[in-house]
Structure 1
Amino acid sequence: MALYAELHRHLGGSVVPRVLWRYFERHSSELISGFAEYSDFEDFYTRPRNTLDEYLELHTLVESVQTVETLPYFIYRLVRGAYIFENLAYLELRYTPYLRTPEHLSQSERIDKMAEIVKVVGQASQLSEYPIVTSQILCMHSRLPYEVNKAIVDLAAQSREYVCAIDVAGGDSYYADRMEEWIRLYDYARSLGIKTTGHLYETTAGCYPQLLPYLMRIGHGIQIPLLSSELLKDVARRGQCLEVCPTTYLKTGTLEDIRQLKLVFDRCFEAGVDIAICTDNAGLHNVRLPFEYENLLTYDIISFEQLQACQDAAFRHAFAWPYSQRPVSLLNRLLKPDHEKVLATKD
């Protein structure tokens, strides 16, 4: 039975290496002509990078082939794997729709095409054989102009059937010069009733306290407990949740050792700040959510009780989870002896 919630997964980084390789073999063999065999491609695709910028360049490889025509192919395999191999009951997929539109079109034409992308992703995610509750987070982008980012916010407001929130991505070191724009866009989104998260405090270059009040969740946020623990009190007061993606910080060179995350979890638990454990880019990492759980336990970063608290937090902070309980609570009820079910009904 599906049990877990994934709150931070990028559409571009979610394609596992084998699926991407097979697609390239059949449709874009020129993109893998430099690799003698699959193992060489997998090593290139999943190896650690020195910086976040270098790591984000890999997204462009996938974005170039995620079009209106091909998105159903990739999303079917993504949802199938999430259900069968990860036991996901809930999945939020985030991406920048503008970057899935044809590059030869004008900016206004690409903006007009974004709604079609959102609809295709939404419809392709609804698979009766793999019953996962899915929703989309639309990402504004640090490299895109204000007009495009505002159009992304407007599209989120117009597509509530498929979209649960907005985000800002593209490298947190690039926010500073346009901070007034981001504040204006987030303020605008909140005025429309759109839920918000944002890639913030992921790296030491992405620490912008002025953006925190506009976010309902914080994408990554690990530098808050590591460098600015005095902010945790306000984070807890606002009820914000950190979306912590353990493997990412090793792949981007942000952390040298996963055990550095122990301080993140310890300080957050002490301050009453919720953490949802996520994968970020499961394909680029070649890992799945249960592995992230197991790794944190293996290195004694968290206890089993803390893991359960993080799993509970993921459903509690899920923007589009339609139920008051997480699936394990429903399963426990089904497995109760008959006389306990009767008593529970009477209660």
Structure 2
Amino acid sequence: MALHAELHRHLGGSVVPRILWRYLEQNSSELISRFTEYSTFEEYYTGKRNTLDEYLELHTLVESVQIVETLPYFIYRLIRGAYIFENLAYLELRYTPYLRTPDTFNQSQRIEKMAEIVDIVGKASQISEYPVITSQILCMHSRLPYEVNKAIIDLAAQNKHYVCAVDIAGGDIYYRERLEEWISLYDYALSLGLNTTGHLYETSNGCYPELLPYLRRIGHGIQIPLLYPELLPDLAKHQQCLEVCPTTYIKTGTLQDISKLKTVFDLCFANGVDIAICTDNAGLHNMRLPFEYENLLTHNIINFQQLQACQDAAFRHAFAWPHSQGPASLLNGLLNPKL
């Protein structure tokens, strides 16, 4: 049995449509009142959007119900599905804790409440019957003020037993006007010994070379091989891994055809840049990680040898994987002790 690592999955976008529908039926009927039946809700929830901004608006629907009282409900089902249907051995969940706090609180109260969110997510993710190694990535947000984003970094540093890295999310077009601020925040995170990743070079609006030196991994990064391939040797030199999420680029309208990703993989392999294949928002896409693999193979974007290289890279670049080897080597040792 192959075991996989998922390095880029959002907590908000991870809820599969059927589970969200059942929850809303029982608890928040007003949020689904405009849908006559489940099929129309699923079509809306998983449908293709025209822009990244339009796509990101879907997160607000889930964020509004992922609160202190309900997070264990959603996380249990998330981990169960990841273990049973995806064969995940390792999962990094990313989210903005501030957006899970009550919007009736003032900013200071919401910042203080974030610690409880991180603790709940951490404890709820440890499920003995579904032994997946999990860790959290806390996302700064492009539409949140500096004080909140700095508090998110401080919270990550104070909870390294649950948190493995910080990220920036919320729409890459908005980074430019506050670029010096993001640089200072990432520099601060590194000074605290935190790992870093960031939504960068996902779209043509998100190309900020100034931020690259501050990232251990790059969230998406597909525009580097597509538009700026001259940057690839430097990424290889610094061992920066791309977190490529194939279905996302079709859902957001970033790419019209998945075949465009062949250039991404070919150039990265040619230049020695690692890629981890990820789902991003498995629930919004109705997509499991093994199906991402299958789609890339079916469309002749990668071959089986390259797929194995990407799977190995995912464990090698996992921020909180506790072993020096991937699970295949560990299983071989258990099942074939003479090897």
TM-score category (smaller protein): over 0.9
**2:319 match:** 319
Normalising by structure 2, report the TM-score: 0.99
**2:36 match:** 36
1:139–1:167 Cα contact (<8 Å) kept: yes
**2:68 match:** 68
1:33-182 equivalences under 5 Å are 33-182=33-182
Considering only aligned residues, what root-mean-square deviation do their CA atoms show, in Å? 0.7
**Residues 196-254 of structure 1: per-residue CA shift (max 9 Å, x gap):** 00000000000000000000000000000000000001111110000000000000000
SS at match of 1:255: coil
How far the C-alpha of 1:328 sits from its partner, in A, is: 1.3
CA–CA separation in structure 2 for the residues paired with 1:267 and 1:106: 48
**1:234 match:** 234
**Residues 313-342 of structure 1: per-residue CA shift (max 9 Å, x gap):** 000000000001111112223333xxxx34
Count of aligned residue pairs for this structure pair: 339
CA–CA separation in structure 2 for the residues paired with 1:284 and 1:236: 32
Instruction: State percent identity of aligned pairs.
Output: 79
CA–CA separation in structure 2 for the residues paired with 1:125 and 1:193: 24
**Residues 265-291 of structure 1: per-residue CA shift (max 9 Å, x gap):** 000000000000000000000010000
**1:302 match:** 302
Q: Which amino acid aligns with 1:191?
A: S
Q: Which amino acid aligns with 1:60?
A: T
**2:24 match:** 24
CA–CA separation in structure 1 for the residues paired with 2:156 and 2:145: 17
**2:269 match:** 269
CA–CA separation in structure 2 for the residues paired with 1:319 and 1:331: 21
**Residues 19-76 of structure 1: per-residue CA shift (max 9 Å, x gap):** 0000000000111111111000000000100000000000000000000000000000
SS at match of 1:13: helix
Q: Which amino acid aligns with 1:120?
A: I
CA–CA separation in structure 1 for the residues paired with 2:2 and 2:296: 21
Q: Which amino acid aligns with 2:256?
A: E
CA–CA separation in structure 2 for the residues paired with 1:160 and 1:113: 18
Q: Which amino acid aligns with 1:203?
A: T
CA–CA separation in structure 1 for the residues paired with 2:325 and 2:171: 35
Normalising by structure 1, report the TM-score: 0.97
Change (3 A) 1:2 1:82: farther
**2:4 match:** 4
Are 1:253 and 2:253 matched, yes or no? yes
CA–CA separation in structure 1 for the residues paired with 2:136 and 2:204: 28
Q: Which amino acid aligns with 2:11?
A: L
Q: Which amino acid aligns with 1:50?
A: N
SS at match of 1:324: coil
**1:334 match:** 334
CA–CA separation in structure 2 for the residues paired with 1:290 and 1:328: 16
CA–CA separation in structure 2 for the residues paired with 1:110 and 1:35: 32
Q: Which amino acid aligns with 2:134?
A: T
